[in-house]
Every structure is written in C-alpha cells, then in structure tokens.
C-alpha cells in the first residue's frame, strides 16, 4: 500500500467543508479590506527564493524542495508566497496600474523540508496578503488590522499580536554592528546554531529557542535602540494607528522573523490555545521596502503577512468550528432497468435546474436505496418504478415532514423547488439573509 509522504496529509471529503468555510471567511474579509486575489505558480526559478528570501535563511539553506527540470533549469517549490507575488508584480508591471497601491492576497500550498510535527508540515497552506506602493505606516497598521479581522471573523480568541521594528537599511546595519560587537567575547557560550548565525545571519540569534533564557541574549542590544529617526517615527505611528483602531498588541523587542527581506515593522500573531501544540504562531509578516528593488523591480515598498491554515484549523478546534452541512435536495430511486432512461432524464432536468441530486449506481434493493438516501441527507426522495412510468407520475417523499405525494413526473423539478422555498418547519418565518434555515433555499 502506498502511504502519503512524510509531512503531508489528506483532506478527506468529510473534512473539506471546514476548509471551504475557512476560505469563505478569508475571501469575505479580504473583500472588506479591498485585497484582490492573485494566483502565482507553485514553482519558480530557484534563484528567486535565494535572492528574495535570503541565501542564509533556514528556509532557503535547509528547507527548499529543489529540482532540475528536463531543460536543465533549477526550480524550487515555493516555500512561501511573497517572493512569487513580488516577481509577478514586477513581471506584469502592476506598478503602472492606475491603482497605485496594489493590494493582493493568496491562498495556496507552500513546501518546506522541515521536521514534521503537529502544526508543522512539508506541504502546508498559507493565506497571505501583500500590499505594494506605499511606505505609509497606515498600511502597516492596516495589514495588522486585516490579520486581526480574520481572527475576529473566525471567532478565535486568546491571540496576541507581537510587534517590533528592525528599521530601515541604515538602522539594520547599525544594529548588526552593535550586536556583533556585543556578542564577540561570548559567542562560544551560545549554541552551535547561534555560532553559525553569528557569521551568516546575526539578527536571528535574537529569537534562538535554545538560548532564549540565556542572560547573554537577554541583555543583548535590541533593534529598537538602533532605529534611525525616520524609522522610529514610522514605528511610533504604526503603533498609534493600531491603538486608534482598538487593536491590542505587545511590543516584543526580540522579534526579528526568519526571512531576510524585512525592514521596519515585523509582527507575529500567537495563539494561546491547547489545540495548537508547540507551533502556536499562526501568522507572521512585516514590511519589506527593499525586496521589489532587489528582485530587479522599481524601488517600491511593500508590506504583508501570511497565516498557516493548518494552524488556524487547530485553533478553530477550540471553538467547534464546523463547515456548512452536506446534504442533497433530491435522491432519485429508479426501480428497474427499463425505467433507467426516463429516470435519468428526470435526474438530468433537476440537475440542470440546480438541485443537488444523486442516485443509486449499485442497483441496490429498496432497503439499500433508503439507507443511501438517509446517509446522503436527502431532503426529498423520488421513486420512479414501472407503475409510475406507465402513469407518467412519480412518487415523492419529504424526509423532513414525512409528507408523501404522487405527482406528474414533468412536475418533479417545480415541485421540489416550490417545497424548498417554503419556510422550513424549524424556521420562524423570518426573511433575514442570515437565517440558517432559509439560507440555502
Ligand atoms: P513565515 O513566518 O515563514 O512567513 O510563515 C507564515 C506562517 O506560515 C507561519 O506563521 C505559520 O503559521 C505558517 N507556517 C510556516 N511554516 C510552516 C510549516 N512548515 N507548516 C505549517 N505551517 C507553517 C512567511 O512565509 C512570509 N512570506 C510572510 C509574509 C508575507 N511576510 C510579508 N508578507
């Protein structure tokens, strides 16, 4: 028996409704914030990620799925969405649009060769958003507000927004020098990963999990202390705008994030929920003012985030999130071989009219067919046998009320539609859009 590859998982038909509902919420909130969907390829030229995300980041140096294609080109399965969106923004010259601030979102699979555990996979899904063309801290605040709105719409509580600034290029340079000088005498007292980071990616030392409690790191200089005046103003304004919008956040002076492209604001959303396990960062993002230029585009600022959808799903377990219920409008029972052609015409007519319709393909007996109708949660069951064919009728039963009738077979579609339009017995006869009982009619 073939088994799925390590770090991957199936979403079975019984579970897919939850994912569809999650995506529905994502799309609704994105519309509210006026972010448009973009779909970019799952693989790109390897160099895009090397230059975009950063050669020395864990993601690129240890975790990419790389392959050489038959044309001897180096390809990489996307480990994240930002680099591909930036590539597309540049290649399609979206910066020339008459909408100068381009706001986009995406939902799709990403691939990282990581050690799998709960909430950490090799193929996983992200919902991400990117906004290009403005360096205003209003946009930093908007992107965080957008992420928080997603969680509100999903009714996920117990989340904390952690925010920090690593500043512009000059601030980053000054900070890096200060950090290297500070750590030089003690670097051999830090973990082996940090010793490698010291030469390759010193900022990442700050969020080392192994040395988190080490006083050497706790007393290390922090990026906020090395911000230029402009960077400081940017950060203060971002925080003020968040406060003005009523968004709670914690300034986390050690937050640096694992991708090289960030400048100014960086943030993460962490959830304190038992259903999540150790991987409790459900969203990460920040500003990247040099990325578009470094990938050969115009000098254009950008800011964005990405949620891990599997982690959101685990968070949703804590609030009993369910997908829209599965059901059929009509289950058709065709009782004999000679009735199949006429019966199929009836089924076809109902489907063309939009009724969710199914039937038996295994020539089961009556008992088996009734069982199927119940398992598929059919509201109406139509019975079409020899007698009905002779009389041009069809027998129909409403599984909700138990009402049974014999009607003309040509009326089947209209009959089911008319019955579905009647307020359900559970409904109090309202006409509000949000009424679950009426919604699907
Ligand atoms: P990231 O922090 O690498 O950022 O990933 C964002 C989120 O994806 C994480 O917070 C986590 O929820 C989820 N995630 C990451 N790796 C895995 C994995 N192996 N399994 C399951 N979930 C995972 C980015 O990817 C940036 N592109 C975000 C961004 C967009 N920054 C600006 N724009």
Domain covering 328-421 in this structure, CATH number = 3.40.50.800
Please name the residue that has the structure tokens 């999990």: 209
Q: Which atom of ligand 1 is nearest to the CA of 83?
A: 27
Ligand 1 site residues (CB inside 6 A) read: 80-82, 112, 114, 119-121, 124, 126, 128, 130, 258-259, 281-286, 304-308, 310-311
Alpha-carbon distance of 95 to 286, in angstroms, equals 20
Residues 193-205 as b or e (16 or more Cβ within 10 Å = b): ebeebbeebbbbb
Cα 275 from chain centroid (whole Å)? 18
Alpha-carbon distance of 44 to 77, in angstroms, equals 7
CB 369 within 8 A of CB 397: no
Task: Return the C-alpha torsion angle 214, 58, 166, 272, nearest 10.
Answer: -70
CA of 306 to the centre of ligand 1 (A): 6
Per-residue pLDDT tens digits for 142-177: 999 999 999 999 999 999 999 999 999 999 999 999
Pocket test for ligand 1, best of 308, 312, 314 (most atoms within 8 A of CB): 308
Alpha-carbon distance of 80 to 108, in angstroms, equals 9
Alpha-carbon distance of 237 to 124, in angstroms, equals 34
What is the model's pTM?
A: 0.93
Q: CA-CA distances (angstroms) from residue 241 to 120, 138, 212, 230, 238? A: 33, 7, 31, 16, 5
Pocket test for ligand 1, best of 284, 286, 315, 316 (most atoms within 8 A of CB): 284
Residue 224, classed as helix, strand or coil, is helix
Non-local CB neighbours of 411 within 8 Å, separated by 6+ positions: none
Q: Low-confidence residues of the chain, pLDDT below 50?
A: 431-434, 437-441
344 class by beta-carbon count within 10 Å (0-12 exposed, 13-18 middle, 19+ buried)? middle
What's the pLDDT at 209?
83
Domain limits, the chain: 13-168+228-319, 328-421
CATH homologous superfamily for 13-168+228-319? Bira Bifunctional Protein; Domain 2 (3.30.930.10)
What's the pLDDT at 280?
93
Which residue minimizes the CA distance to atom 14 of ligand 1? Answer: 308
């Amino acid at each position: 028996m073939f088994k799925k590859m390590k770090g991957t998982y199936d979403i079975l038909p019984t579970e897919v409704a939850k994912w569809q509902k999650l995506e529905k919420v994502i799309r609704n909130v994105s519309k509210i914030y006026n972010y448009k969907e973009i779909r970019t390829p799952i693989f790109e030229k390897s160099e895009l990620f090397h230059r975009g995300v950063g050669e020395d980041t864990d993601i690129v140096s240890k975790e990419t799925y790389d392959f050489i294609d038959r044309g001897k080109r180096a390809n990489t399965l996307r480990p994240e969405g930002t680099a591909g969106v930036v590539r597309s923004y540049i290649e399609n010259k979206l910066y020339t649009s008459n909408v100068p601030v381009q706001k986009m979102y995406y939902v799709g699979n990403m691939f990282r060769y990581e050690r799998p555990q709960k909430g950490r996979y090799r193929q996983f899904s992200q919902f991400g958003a990117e906004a290009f063309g403005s360096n205003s801290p209003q946009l930093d605040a908007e992107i965080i507000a957008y992420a928080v709105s997603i969680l509100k719409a999903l009714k996920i509580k117990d989340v904390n927004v952690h925010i920090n600034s690593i500043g512009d290029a000059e601030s980053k340079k000054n900070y890096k020098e200060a950090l290297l000088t500070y750590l030089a005498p003690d670097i051999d007292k830090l973990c082996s990963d940090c010793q490698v980071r010291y030469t390759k990616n010193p900022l990442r030392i700050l969020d080392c999990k192994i040395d988190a409690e080490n006083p050497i790191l706790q007393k290390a200089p922090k990026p906020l202390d090395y911000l230029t005046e402009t960077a400081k103003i940017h950060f203060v304004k971002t925080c003020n705008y968040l406060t003005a919008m009523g968004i709670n956040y914690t300034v986390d002076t050690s937050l640096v994030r694992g991708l090289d492209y960030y400048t100014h604001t960086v943030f993460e959303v962490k959830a304190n929920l038992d259903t999540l396990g150790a991987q409790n960062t459900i969203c990460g993002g920040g500003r990247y003012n040099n990325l578009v230029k470094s990938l050969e585009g115009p000098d254009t600022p950008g800011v964005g985030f990405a949620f891990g959808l599997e982690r959101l799903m685990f968070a949703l377990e804590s609030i009993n999130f369910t997908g829209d219920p599965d059901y059929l409008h009509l289950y058709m029972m065709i009782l004999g071989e000679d009735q199949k052609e006429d019966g199929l015409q009836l089924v076809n007519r109902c489907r063309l009219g939009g009724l969710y319709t199914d039937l038996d393909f295994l020539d089961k007996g009556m008992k088996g067919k009734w069982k199927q109708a119940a398992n598929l949660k059919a509201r109406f069951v139509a019975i079409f046998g020899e007698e009905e064919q002779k009389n041009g009728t069809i027998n129909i039963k409403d599984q909700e009320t138990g009402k049974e009738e014999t009607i003309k077979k040509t009326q089947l579609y209209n009959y089911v539609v008319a019955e579905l339009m009647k307020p359900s017995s559970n409904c109090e006869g309202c006409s509000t859009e949000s009424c679950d009982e009426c919604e699907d009619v």
